Structure 1
Amino acid sequence: MLIYKILKPAEWEQWQVEGTFAGSELDQQDGFVHCSTREQVPGTVDRFFEGEDDLVLATLDADELAAHLKWENDFPHVYAALTLEDIVEAAPYEH
């Protein structure tokens, strides 16, 4: 199963430079990396990224992250920093 992390351009750039991503400011406050299913992505974008341009959608393999993945309130949450190797694909988010 695939899950998705929505990133602002600066977050994506930082992840590429550092090789790991411990999450956005909200992720770090909550103690996990918020992700979404494909069906949840549009609602998540509308709720948390209104007015943001150039978002990046990082595709992650839930099976590969299973040791750190918890489903809470029907959303996938990753309790670990993500690495570039965790990414199946990264592409601009198309509204």
Structure 2
Amino acid sequence: MNEQTIYRVLGSDEWAKAVALGEYQGAPHDIADGFIHFSTGETLAATLALHYAGRDHLKLLHVPVAPIEAYIKWEPARGGTLFPHLYAKLKVADVFRVDDVNLDENGVHILPEDLR
């Protein structure tokens, strides 16, 4: 499986730390699992609702698969849906776009126009 772009949600503070280091090492659950969890365009809204409910001021990283494909494994989760898992640190240079993700008045995350 090869999506052109995969997505990672993280807190603004986590992204600032990654930029300072030049790489994102993952959240504690990523480190414990041994890989960095990503979403596809199709699973992004569900990931936000399930794992980031009520969290505001998030960052959405857009990462092209091609430069990191050797370190990506597509593995089943959530009822067998395949998710991209990165078995390496994510270099900040491999992120081609970063969007802010905030909550609307109903507490629902607002995705960028092109991902709705």
After TM superposition, the score normalised by the length of structure 2 is 0.79
Partners of 2:32 and 2:49 lie apart in 1 by 21
Q: CA deviation at 1:19?
A: 0.8
Larger RCO, structure (CA 8 Å, separation 6 or more): 1
Unaligned 5+ runs, structure 2: 77-81, 103-109, 111-116
Task: Find the partner of 1:57 among 60, 70, 79.
Answer: 60
Please state whether the residue corresponding to 1:65 is helix, strand or coil: helix
How many correspondences in the alignment? 95
Q: What's the C-alpha RMSD, in Å, of the aligned pairs?
A: 0.9
Within 5 Å, which residues of 2 pair with 1:1-95? 1-73=4-76, 74-93=82-101, 95=110
Q: Which runs of 4+ in 1 moved over 6 A?
A: none
Structure showing greater radius of gyration is 2
Q: CA deviation at 1:63?
A: 1.4
Unaligned 5+ runs, structure 1: none
Please state whether the residue corresponding to 1:37 is helix, strand or coil: coil
